[in-house]
A and B are shown apart, each in its own frame.
Chain A
Amino acid sequence: MTGRKLVASAFVLALLQIGFLGWIIAGRAAVLRSGAEVLLKVEPVDPRDLLRGDYVFLSYDISRIPAKLIANIPAGRTSSEEGPIVVRLRKDADGYWRPASAWLGAAPAPAGEGEVDIAGRIAAGWDLTGDATLSASYGIERFYLPEGEGLAIERDMRVRPFGVRVAVARDGTAQIKALMDGDMMLFEEPVY
């Protein structure tokens, strides 16, 4: 490889990698800018799992979906397969958004006024019968914190209700916007 060609390919390579990172940032910033905003209640989780390194592990009340909410369970299916789930959220009187209905795969119709569809995934093997609940994840289960600030928040989270403001894109992609201690905002994420 001649010298100029090597430098040129290094330049193109650097632009490709920078472009790739920039593309992810732009996608996430777009969700933050234009996504519908919902407030989700954070539930305390097993304290041993709560803090791992430099992030807190978040569990939401929408992390557990009653099987009865899922409208399109195929006849005869008793346990879940790994795959997508769409949960339609509606705002409750206390300001938090809670699941109104859910579908495996995709929603049959777009969300109406005052409703937001959030896209998640469920693992295989959850019971789908009777009063069972199944666990869903939405890619918003972590909150990264500056080094050393995690423990205090972890402690407070167990004694007071915390909330997370989430931006949800039209396709259901969720993006954490702010971490709330009751009504007080602890961290708000800039678009970039």
Chain B
Amino acid sequence: MAAYSSRVRADIDRWAAAGLIDASTADALRRDVETSARRSLSFGSVLAMMAALLLGAAILIFIAANWEAIPRLARVGAVFLVILAGYVGGAVAKTKGHPAVGEALWIVAAAAFGGGIALVGQMYHLAGSESSAVLTWCAGTALAAAALRSGPLTVAAAGIADGWLAMNLTGGFRLFGRTEFPGMFVAIVAALFVLSYWTRSTAARHLILLSLIAYVALFALDHDVLPVAVGLAGVSAVLFAVAVLAPEPVEAVVRLGGRLPLHALIGFLAGMTMIQFAVADESGIGGFAVASAVALAGIVAAVVLAGRQSRGLRWIAYIGFAFELVIVYLVTMQTMLGTAGFFLAAAVIVGLLAFAIVRIERRWAAPAMQGA
């Protein structure tokens, strides 16, 4: 790849010298070659990050093994050393022009901080505070992300928060008599969302939005399904509409690379799915048919409104559509004739919509072609 980019650069110089392209075109081409060459390096940074995660996991599991051959004061010293060397060494690597190595070393240091918390808990047999231990780890990682302005550390902090939520809900912490829902999660990811602007981490914002959708879905299952699911679907639909109708101002606020509609569609589908199951249990087939029709209409509307600009959104819509068909089949399985009737009606409606969309898109495209 590097060989190709240097060859192209030589070609650009030759073309510019021969007068085939002007100076501004040559500059634009050089910039383009440079950015694509940098992107090709990301394979190396992905490997560096994976190595960092493996090393971090090795540290954590080594501490859990509680190996007596090494005195624990030496283990504490080693953990402190990894924290210091990881953060400072990563900063040095970053200033020397190796950002991937720097970020990877910071991840190792953050893992070592988590290992240090686990080690202290093990040394002094601290019981019943795993939840706060994980939260402390999350806070320390977020602090590191803020101090070093690191995107990967922001993602790591959000990942730890997700882990905390999962452990809480699966009862991994085994706290006595703890039954309340971990509502603190919302406050944590809200703080991390704000932090992600400072660390310029679009990936963290994506992860947080997906985590929030999962959180609301779990909250609905834990509490009253129907109102929460209706709220999720409704808020998602409003967000989708706002993001599609006013893309520039919305993007200026959320800075998600124009992908807010994807999250809104996922949230809408999650909400509608829960509504469908809830009404299928409660109010017979009538309510379910309405909910299914709303879900399918929502998918079609999403494709019509924003599908043209976003390939990712189209794919989520296709998957959601297939998923909807499976749900409808599963719920109405007792009457196959009814299912066949619903699918027939859906086929007619979607076919008519497809006909309409094709005509609309052709009409949109025609003046543009004439203008060009």
Which residue numbers of A lie inside 8 Å of B, CB to CB?
1, 3-4, 6-7, 9-18, 20-22, 24-25, 28, 52-55, 82, 123-125, 135, 137, 139-147, 175-176, 189-190, 192
Q: Is B156 an interface residue (CB 8 A)?
A: no
Within 8 A of A (CB), among B134-149: 140, 143-144, 147-149
- Given contact pairs A7-B92, A28-B124, A14 touches B65 in the complex (Cβ within 8 A): no
Which of B112-120, B157-165, B314-322 faces chain A? B112-120
A13 in contact with B148 (CB, 8 Å): yes
A18 contacts B84, C-beta separation under 8 Å: yes
Question: Which B residues are CB-close (under 8 A) to A1?
Answer: 149
Q: How far is the CB of A142 from chain B (nearest CB, A)?
A: 4
Indicate whether A13 sits within 8 Å of B144 (C-beta atoms), given known contacts A18-B80, A192-B76.
yes
Which B residues are closer than 8 A to A by beta carbons?
A: 64-68, 72-73, 76, 79-80, 83-84, 86-88, 90-92, 94-95, 106, 109, 113, 116-117, 120-129, 140, 143-144, 147-149, 174, 176-177
Best-surrounded residue of B92, B116, B124, B176 (most CB of chain A within 10 A): B124
A8, chain B: closest CB distance, angstroms: 8
Nearest chain-B residue to A175 (Cβ)?
Answer: B124
Closest to B96 in A: A3
Given contacts A14-B86, A147-B66, 20 further A-B contacts (CB under 8 A): A6-B95, A10-B91, A11-B84, A13-B147, A14-B87, A17-B116, A17-B140, A18-B84, A20-B140, A21-B116, A54-B65, A139-B126, A139-B127, A141-B127, A142-B125, A142-B128, A144-B122, A146-B65, A190-B73, A192-B123
Centre residue among B80, B87, B116, B120 by max chain A CB count within 10 A: B87
Please state if A147 and B67 are interface contacts (CB–CB under 8 Å): yes
Q: B residues within 8 A CB of A9?
A: 91, 147-148
Q: Can you list 12 residue pairs at the A/B interface with Cβ under 8 Å? A: A9-B91, A9-B148, A11-B84, A18-B80, A18-B116, A21-B76, A21-B79, A25-B76, A137-B128, A143-B125, A144-B121, A192-B73
B73 CB contacts on chain A under 8 angstroms: 190, 192
Give every chain B residue within 8 A of A13 (Cβ-Cβ): 87, 143-144, 147-148
Contact B65 A147 (CB under 8 A): yes
**Per a CB cutoff under 8 Å, which of A6, A139, A141, A192 touches B91?**
A6
Residue of A with least CB distance to B176: A123
- Contact among B66, B83, B124, B148 with A6 in the assembled complex (CB-CB below 8 Å): B148
**A17 contact set on B, CB distance < 8 A:** 83, 113, 116, 140, 143-144
Whether B120 lies near A28 (C-beta < 8 A) is: yes
Q: Are the C-beta atoms of B88 and A144 separated by less than 8 Å?
A: no
Assembly CA distance A17 to B76 (angstroms): 13
Which 6 residue pairs are nearest across A and B when measured between Cβ atoms? A3-B95, A123-B177, A10-B91, A142-B127, A10-B87, A141-B127
Residue among B72, B90, B92, B125 with the most chain A CB within 10 A? B125
Name B120's closest neighbour in chain A (CB-CB). A24
Q: How many CB-defined contacts (below 8 Å) exist between A and B?
A: 125
In the complex, which residues of chain A have a beta carbon less than 8 angstroms from the beta carbon of B72?
A: 190, 192
CB of B157, distance to nearest CB on chain A (Å): 13
Decide if A14 touches B177 in the complex (CB within 8 Å). no
Q: Across the interface, which residues of A come within 8 angstroms of B64, CB to CB? A: 53-54, 147
B143 CB contacts on chain A under 8 angstroms: 13, 16-17
A140 touching B83 in the complex, CB below 8 Å, given contacts A7-B92, A14-B88, A123-B177? no
Closest to B178 in A: A123
Q: Given the interface contacts A18-B83, A25-B76, A146-B68, does A10 sit within 8 Å of B127 by beta carbon?
A: no
CA distance A13 to B122 in the complex (A): 24
Chain A hits for B91, CB < 8 A? 6-7, 9-11
CA distance A81 to B201 in the complex (A): 43
With A25-B120, A175-B124 as contacts: A144 and B66 at CB distance below 8 Å: yes
Of the candidates A4, A18, A28, the one having the most CB atoms from chain B within 10 angstroms of its own CB is: A18
Residues of A within 8 A of B126 (CB): 28, 139, 142
Chain B residues with Cβ below 8 Å from A137 are 127-128, 176
* Alpha-carbon distance A123/B176, docked complex (angstroms): 7
Select A141's contact among B80, B95, B121, B128, beta carbons within 8 Å. Answer: B128
Nearest A residue to B92 by beta-carbon distance?
A7
- List, in ascending order, chain A residues with CB within 8 A of B148's CB: 6, 9-10, 13
A13 and B72 alpha carbons, distance in the complex (Å): 24
Q: CA–CA, A77 to B86, complex, Å?
A: 54
Which residues of the other chain, B, contact A52 by a CB distance below 8 angstroms? 174
Q: Smallest CB-CB separation from B68: which chain A residue?
A: A146
Q: Please name the residue on chain A nearest to B69 by beta carbon.
A: A146
Separation of A16 and B109 alpha carbons in the complex (Å): 13
Residues of B within 8 A of A55 (CB): 122, 125
Give Cα A142–Cα B95 distance, bound, in whole angstroms.
45
A3 to B66, alpha carbons, bound, how many Å? 38
User: From residue B172, how far is it (CB to closest CB) to chain A in Å?
Assistant: 10
A10 touches which one: B65, B90, B120, B124 (CB < 8 A)? B90
